[in-house]
Amino acid sequence: MLTCHQITNALEWANITSALPPHVLQSWPWGEVKSRWDWTADHWLWREGARPVAAAQILARPIPYTPWSMLYISKGPLWDYRDPALMATILAELERYAKQKRALFIKIDPDLPLGYGEELSPDMAGQIARTLLQQRGWQYSPEQIQFRNTIVINLEPTEAELLAAMKNKWRYNIRLAEKRGVIIRQGQTADLDSFYAMYAETAARDNFLIRPAAYYYDVWRTFMQANQAELWLAEVEGQVIAGVFSFYAGTTAWYLYGASTGQHRDLMPNHLLQWTAMQQAKGRGCTRYDMWGAPDVFNEADSMWGVYRFKQGFGGQVIHGLGAWDYPVYPRLYRAFTQTLPKVRGWVRKIRN
């Protein structure tokens, strides 16, 4: 018999979700951070007898000037997506929960593959999950908050085998960085100012929007204190020129943030940084290194093409994700909201620019 319980303890949540398997955006520290930035976080667990079978950290946020809220399960729920009957049961419970909470809609973003490779070799379980969502009235969300596609590197082979799986130029660039004096060291909280300065410089150079500095400091400090994130910095002659943040949950590491200056790029610090992050993740017992983000369309017209080519050179597997799906509790109001939201975001971007 399936039962539902609310979890209010961080350690209990970590122990339960470790076997589902976990995702960093379903971790307790992520909910803590979001709760300081206009969201609330509730943690729900489903058991079959004594066995945990599904879990969801549900973020809630009021929609300004309305009596409704929006609910979001970032990179969740956590469940065995190869079990369609379980998935249908949990979806039904989430639909009821959204109605009880007077949510305009609930958004889920399961970490499920639809297929693999640039040409999309289908994953049947992911395809079944998509069909089930459509049958139940869920809609592919017009707002994909997280990256839908990604590249994942299998860390189970030896380091020599991991290097052999990379493109020749990537192995060469790693050795080049080492020979020409690029030093990689682990960053501490005292280094966050310099990392954020690089991140802001990277955003300006690559033309992407970033949040207020305080938000990033909150994320980075919270996860570093929980031993679920590490900062790696590349230096040349004592000057920090690039860095990456690795986040951890279970046996997966995620490359969520990267930054660099425009200096010494010819020394290939980013290649050595990624290789170091992979080695460190492997040393922590991780078997997967998620490079967090790949194009929606795999051709040179996609804005992520250059970043994708860099990531692809490390020998990972392209994964097409299921993406985010919305269940509209009030379909007409939902349509009006989703049609208005892009215009509002456009105005905000103009103001920020």
The structural domains of the chain, with segments of one domain joined by +, span 2-115+123-144+323-352, 151-319
Confidence of residue 339 (pLDDT cuts 50, 70, 90): confident
What dotted CATH number matches 151-319?
Answer: 3.40.630.30
What is the distance, to the nearest Å, from the Cα of residue 321 to the centroid of all Cα atoms in its chain?
11
Same fold, 2-115+123-144+323-352 and 151-319: yes
Question: Percent of the chain at pLDDT above 90?
Answer: 90
Q: 2-115+123-144+323-352 — its CATH code? A: 3.40.630.30
In whole angstroms, what is the distance from residue 251 CA to residue 285 CA?
A: 6
pLDDT in tens, 162-192: 999 999 999 999 999 999 999 999 999 999 9
Cα gap 60→339, rounded to integer Å: 21
Residue 113 has pLDDT above 60, yes or no: yes
pLDDT tens digits for range 296-335: 999 999 989 999 999 999 999 999 999 999 999 999 999 9
pLDDT in tens, 271-288: 999 999 999 999 999 999
Spell out a b/e string for 158-183, using b for 16 or more CB atoms within 10 Å of the CB, else e. Answer: eeeebbeebeeebbebbebbbeeebe
Q: What is the distance between the terminal CA atoms of the chain, rounded to a whole angstrom?
A: 54
Is 344 a residue whose pLDDT tops 90? no
Of the pLDDT bands very low, low, confident and very high (cuts 50, 70, 90), residue 340 is confident
- pTM score of the predicted model: 0.94
pLDDT confidence tier of residue 348, bands split at 50, 70 and 90: very low
Q: Please report, rounded to a whole number, the percentage of residues in the chain having pLDDT higher than 70.
A: 96
Q: Is 150 helix (H, G, I), strand (E, B) or coil?
A: strand
| 323's tokens | 């993406």
